[in-house]
A = this chain, B = another copy of it.
Amino acid sequence: MQTRTPAQHARLALLLEVAGTPKPGNVDRRRDLADLRFDHFLAGTVGAQRGLEMAADGAGVGPAFERAVEGMSAQGGGNTQFGALLLLVPLTRAARDDLSQPVVEAVVEDTTVADAAAFYRAFEHVDVFVADPPEDMAPLDVRRGADAVPALEERGLTLLDVMAGSVPGDDVAREWVTGFERSFGAAERLAEAEGPPLDRAAAVFLSLLAERPDTLVADKHGEDVAREVQERAVELHERRAVETDREAVEAFADDLVDRGINPGTTADITAAGLFIALERGVLEV
């Protein structure tokens, strides 16, 4: 049987992530959001191809990410997979050598100021929700896009430095400074979970949502809401509700969609976990 390449596994991970259901608050196989639909995510996955292939071929993480975001955003829904790609690009780059925590740590440690500049340019391709930075960081507000590059260069900040500056508060960036610990943990849980891949994706999404408050929810709705969502996830996860009481998870999912509460960071880490599990052969499709 032909085997899939790392770049193909990255795209399959994006597809399995969005299809996994129920994934409370997110677009999934059964749910669209108001302006963000399942087909936008399908198109985003197709568009991310070249950037992911660049990462697999050894390109710099920044340029590969920028290219992936540019292609991902060539659909009408806006930002679909920005955060997921920020995890998948270094992971795909690491898979070129060996997909382990030390190797992906080396990949992010090797990032440069040029990678940081490409990351900033990526924000010009798509409208990403970002909280206001502290005042002294205003020159480095990512929403400035390429206009922030001189400030980056003056301070000599690499892409890893930029990510480190976003912690705490952004749990995608946190993966960069913790050796992708939650992503690798999610992969282990995907391997141990039962049932077909989309059920496993749903169960592991819920376990991640129970683990820490979702930082996108905290940015948009405040920390109290993020903690409330986490507490409900803890209750459902502890009684393995995806397997034993699916209706309760479906109801939680519908409630979050109705309230416009979208734990996008948790979905990003789920995608990263799916990639690692596929690449290691512990999750089969």
Contacts and interface: CB of A to CB of B under 8 A. Distances in A.
A285 B42 contact: yes
User: What bracket does the count of chain A residues touching chain B fall in?
Assistant: 20 to 34
A282 to B, nearest CB: 14
- The winner among A39, A40, A196 for most chain B CB atoms within 10 A is A39
Which secondary structure dominates where chain A touches chain B?
Answer: helix
A29 B11 CA distance: 18
Interface stretch (A12-20, A134-142, A184-192): A12-20
Interface string A8-31: 100110011001000000000110
Nearest to A38: B19
Contacts of A4: 43, 46-47, 74
A39 B284 CA distance: 10
Interface string A144-187: 00000000000000000000000000000000000000000000
B198 A2 contact: no
A208 to B, nearest CB: 20
A29 B40 contact: no
Contacts of A2: 47, 70-71, 73-74
Contact of A39 (B1, B40, B70, B285): B285
Contacts of A71: 2
B46 A8 contact: yes
A212 interface: no
Interface of A: 1-4, 8, 11-12, 15-16, 19, 29-30, 37-40, 42-43, 45-47, 49, 70-71, 73-76, 196-198, 284-285
10 contacts: A2-B71, A2-B74, A4-B43, A11-B46, A12-B42, A15-B46, A19-B39, A39-B197, A39-B285, A76-B285
Given A4-B43, A4-B46, A76-B284, 12 more contacts: A2-B47, A4-B47, A8-B46, A8-B47, A8-B49, A15-B45, A16-B39, A30-B30, A37-B196, A39-B198, A42-B285, A43-B285
